[in-house]
Amino acid sequence: MKKLIFVTGGVCSSLGKGVAASSIGALMDARGLSVRMVKIDPYLNVDAGTMSPYQHGEVYVTDDGAETDLDLGNYGRFTNSPLSRANSITTGQVYRAVIDKEREGRFLGRTVQVIPHVTDEIKSRILAVGKDPEVDITIVEVGGTVGDMESIPFLEAARQLIHEFGRQNAVSVHVTLVPTVSGGELKTKPTQHAVKELQEVGIQPDALVLRAAEPIDEGLRRKIAGFTNVEFEGVISAHDVPTTIYEILLLFHEQGLDSFLLKKMNIESRHADLKAWREVVRKFREPRRRARIGVVGKYMELHDAYKSVWEALYHGGIANEAAVELVKIDSSRLEGESADVDGVLGAVDGILVPGGFGERGVDGMVRAARYARETGKPYFGICLGMQIMVIEAARNLLGWSDAHSTEFDRDTPHPVVGLLEDQVDVKNYGGTMRLGKSDSVLKEGTLIRRIYGAERISERHRHRYEFANAYRAEIEAAGLRVAALTPDGGLVEACEWPGHPWGLGVQFHPEFKSRPVAAAPLFASFVAACVEHGK
């Protein structure tokens, strides 16, 4: 029978449920089992696409164009689970589906209620993800904290599935906090109360993942086991690690969490092959080189806004056995007559300008691109970062000081970046925003073609503005080379500075497909160029 693992959280939010769920998935992958991951978000939004980065952090995009929670990024980096819109479930999706069915008369006049109609919809969505005969385990992370009003229908659905499947086929992993009070003493009372709240909704946890700053000793874990009716082998210390989040799965494995869960679910598997993950951690611990990379963007004070970019840069470091130091630079610091551009950017080995929306800080990004082009410093532009290269070339190579994107200046006399529908027939591109997987054809003799080693690639997009085709010939003639196009030639996918050591911008988001055990090619090459420049 199919197996289910539910991952819930207690005490407070932001304890690392996503990393815990991803680590469990990676351990099951390493044992040769086929895993699928599901994230449940209790908010009423249908998806994360309209949320501010300050509210929700990064929007992670799947191949089929779903705009999802950043935890799906962790799933993609840790596991082999394919990801699509089916892997992200929100309250908004569930209630919209139930109401649509009610309007269509599919409930045959019955009163529509949370139980059974809403919970049945949740259960059907969870089970649909693992319906493939090849799938062994579906891991379901329930967002929020047990006790939140918004989470109640999802916890009830989980309770029903555990009851229907049986405790040998559906298990519960509860992530809780063991805080440290003055004097350094670890307190177990919050975990005891968190487990009691989960028991009150009818779920007895099979395993506890205890978040703490320091390792939790055996005596304390035995105490928690006794108070919570959880077997001692299932009480796991998830303390802070000194290297990287990718060490967490090794920490779980050393304490036997994967073996314990497999025993609970009566699954036989091969021994876990963790050689690749051990090598990842070793390279973090023992780098042979270093690179300081300046990331020039709008949301620098919020780490989660560019979560996949940070991780992809670290992956590039792993590929080069290099320690990557991130220097977060608010692009507004580079604006104005008094801005010390050389003082800010001169100390980094490379510059990356990521995606973003809104006008704030754009001129600072243009200055960063010009500095990189003129000094020969490696430059990597992603989405908006490529459009910045176009604006910079128009202003400083063609002399059009008023050149801009219509996203930021609708009345610019030189709209070198414009809306998708102004460039092509949008009926062929699925609407006014390009979302999800799309192919690019790489021109021969270009840097990007050399990096990928292929003529045609597939990467994920999330944008509605493009390099304006009306200006393509003039800007190319001035010195910004178009390096990749869509298969029909209608849209520009990459630009390069000819003769530059490493100056490349792409319209897509390669960070979404990068993994610690297989860095995205562009990030591996960019970090290598930064290491070389740093010498």
- Domains of the chain, each with CATH number or no CATH: 3-279 (3.40.50.300), 287-534 (3.40.50.880)
Please tell me the pTM assigned to this model. 0.94
3-state secondary structure 419-471: EHHHCCCHHHCCCCCEEEEEEEEECCCCHHHHHHCCCEEEEEEEECEEECHHH
In the annotation, is 12 catalytic?
Answer: no
Q: What is the pLDDT of residue 149?
A: 92
Q: Please state whether 133 falls in left (phi above 0), alpha (psi between -120 and 50) or beta.
A: alpha
Q: Is the pLDDT of residue 279 over 80?
A: yes
Across 74-81, average pLDDT: 96
Q: Is the pLDDT of residue 49 over 90?
A: no
Among 125-129, 177-181, 291-295, where is mean pLDDT lowest? 177-181
Half-sphere exposure for 405 (CA within 13 Å, toward CB): 26
Using 50, 70 and 90 to split pLDDT, how confident is the model at 425?
low
In the annotation, is 164 catalytic?
Answer: no
Among 207-221, 255-269, 424-438, where is mean pLDDT lowest? 424-438
**Of 67, 466, 496, 511, which one is the catalytic site residue?**
511
Q: Is the pLDDT of residue 273 over 90?
A: yes
Q: What is the pLDDT of residue 6?
A: 98
Using 50, 70 and 90 to split pLDDT, how confident is the model at 469?
very high
Report the chain's mean pLDDT, rounded to a whole number: 94
Return the ∠ at Cα 164 (arms to 162 and 168), rounded to 5°. Answer: 55
**Of 58, 247, 335, 383, which one is the catalytic site residue?**
383
Across 314-328, average pLDDT: 97
Q: What is the pLDDT of residue 431?
A: 56
What is the Cα–Cα distance from 99 to 64, expressed in whole angstroms? Answer: 25
Long-range contacts of 163-170 (CB under 8 A, 24+ apart): 163/202, 165/1, 165/2, 165/4, 167/206, 167/264, 168/264, 168/265, 168/266, 169/1, 169/2, 169/3, 169/4, 169/265, 170/3, 170/4, 170/5, 170/6
Q: Is the pLDDT of residue 54 over 80?
A: no
Q: Closest Cα partner for 171 from 401, 4, 396?
A: 4
**Residues above pLDDT 90, as percent of the chain:** 85
Q: What is the pLDDT of residue 426?
A: 57
Q: Is the pLDDT of residue 108 over 90?
A: no
Q: What is the pLDDT of residue 424?
A: 65
**Residues above pLDDT 70, as percent of the chain:** 98
Convert the pLDDT of each residue in 334-370 to its tens digit: 998 888 999 999 999 999 999 987 777 899 999 999 9
